[in-house]
Chains A and B, each alone.
Chain A
Amino acid sequence: KNQVEQSPQSLIILEGKNCTLQCNYTVSPFSNLRWYKQDTGRGPVSLTIMTFSENTKSNGRYTATLDADTKQSSLHITASQLSDSASYICVVIRGFGGSYIPTFGRGTSLIVHP
């Protein structure tokens, strides 16, 4: 079964601290993996897209890693800011026959306290 599991479900950290969010998946055949940030009351916004051959990709203070062998990805946030408070969603795209179907994780809710 194609699934994406994220952990932790929720996380509270102090401003300025680092944190790492985890994503494990069983989606196949794998096309690419994405991390989205969803602020409360808004639609998700893409942070990173990683293909099978990419191990690390950065977007400012956000760094995503991918281990395609163990089917694990992580999103590391450096020097957190209050504006980082949001839900972070891992999405794995299945690719077959010209179709690309996303499977979404439940998301990790991050709260950054001053």
Chain B
Amino acid sequence: ETGVTQTPRHLVMGMTNKKSLKCEQHLGHNAMYWYKQSAKKPLELMFVYSLEERVENNSVPSRFSPECPNSSHLFLHLHTLQPEDSALYLCASSREGHPTQETQYFGPGTRLLVL
């Protein structure tokens, strides 16, 4: 275990559903990230939160909406998704500071299937 947990681990949803992914870190980090990992593609950085403020939004469609209520929790709210959004969604956290100290600790991911 890396100290980063994600729920649910698996999710199947229809295109009209609304669901949320949850991430929690117990490492005392102050930066959190959402990544999308599709089959045979590199990890894609979606959002970065530093000190609870969004500092990066990597051209992600508005059907994905992040929320960071505090430094330990990160949510990804999903609505009206498309089948191509099916992927593994990974959460990570790190300690802001010197770049070589910003090792990101990843959660186990949520495997999402959109029907």
Q: Which residue numbers of A lie inside 8 Å of B, CB to CB?
A: 4, 31-32, 34, 41-46, 49, 51, 89, 93, 95, 99-107
Interface pair B103/A42, CB less than 8 Å apart: no
Interface pair B99/A42, CB less than 8 Å apart: no
Tell me the dominant secondary structure on chain A's binding face.
strand
Interface pair A43/B108, CB less than 8 Å apart: yes
Q: Which residue numbers of B lie inside 8 Å of A, CB to CB?
A: 2, 4, 40-45, 55-56, 90-92, 99-100, 102-109
Distance of A45 Cα from B104 Cα, bound (Å):
8
Distance of A100 Cα from B44 Cα, bound (Å):
15
Distance of A4 Cα from B42 Cα, bound (Å):
9
List of 3 A-B pairs having minimum Cβ-Cβ separation, nearest first: A43-B106, A104-B42, A104-B43
Cβ contact of A32, chosen from B40, B42, B91, B99, cutoff 8 A: B99
